[in-house]
Structure 1
């Protein structure tokens, strides 16, 4: 399973869901993406309704979060949390919630990037959209989201 591996890079090997991502998620994301939020498939049925209620897709478990990294919503975590340095200068819509200061946001972004794997941090979706190609098999194989 391509999610289970560990990257050769030091940070990516050390970052785990249990030790790093879950506490960060609980502190910064659970208010809108916690247990009271809809699962991804339900969220996609009526995104506007849930957004108006300040609820995004549920991500309070490892399995729920993997859906927004690998599949079916490939790269969603990366697109939403990215600082814009990989996307022509436009940060993702959730980047601002990673911290109160740019320093804190960058620190927390580094934690997420270390968990996904530095070479796995791709903003592509599963299928091409417009001029942006879909994620490649090689990109998917570089995702390292250690439990």
Structure 2
């Protein structure tokens, strides 16, 4: 009887933990978690003063040399770097180096997610929950080198709640 009670308690605890994890993923929104985090850590280089994505890609005015990234100050501009047309760019830049194809090397903007490794890891976890369970990938729209193009199954997992 004790084994059954212990088993039931353990099962109930596991179900609650899974439900809490799913709840976090469903509760993360651009407005409530992502935009405030972005404003705290990234807006200085990606705000209203920054070039549009197409101008940034041309880099005719030396944006990269000025440490100025593409404009990402609205939801619509932001999600272009997750889903399309710059598929996976956000993930490649913010990844901690543990994703497939990262080669153990963090993205060039990972360090901007916080002042400490603990803060960066916590913020990355929130962003990954917002992107969607299983949707965090470094693939581009088209194949590049050994990295395959993003698959429809990967795109189907993207959530990006506003």
TM over 0.5: yes
Q: Residues 41-80 of structure 1 correspond to what in structure 2 (within 5 A)?
A: 41-46=54-59, 49-80=62-93
User: Residue 109 of structure 1 is aligned with which of 121, 124, 139?
Assistant: 124
User: Residue 18 of structure 1 is aligned with which of 4, 9, 31?
Assistant: 31
Q: Shift of residue 80 of structure 1?
A: 0.3
Q: Max radius of gyration: which structure?
A: 2
> What is aligned with 2:135?
120
User: TM-score, normalising length from structure 2?
Assistant: 0.83
1:133 aligned onto 2:148:
yes
Q: Give the superposed CA RMSD.
A: 1.4
Larger RCO, structures 1/2 (Cα 8 Å, 6+ apart): 1
Q: Shift of residue 48 of structure 1?
A: 7.6
4+ long deviations beyond 4 Å: none
Q: Distance in 1 between matches of 2:148 and 2:60?
A: 24
Aligned residues: 140
The unaligned stretches of length 5 or more in structure 2 are: 1-20
8 Å CA contact retained: 1:34, 1:60: yes
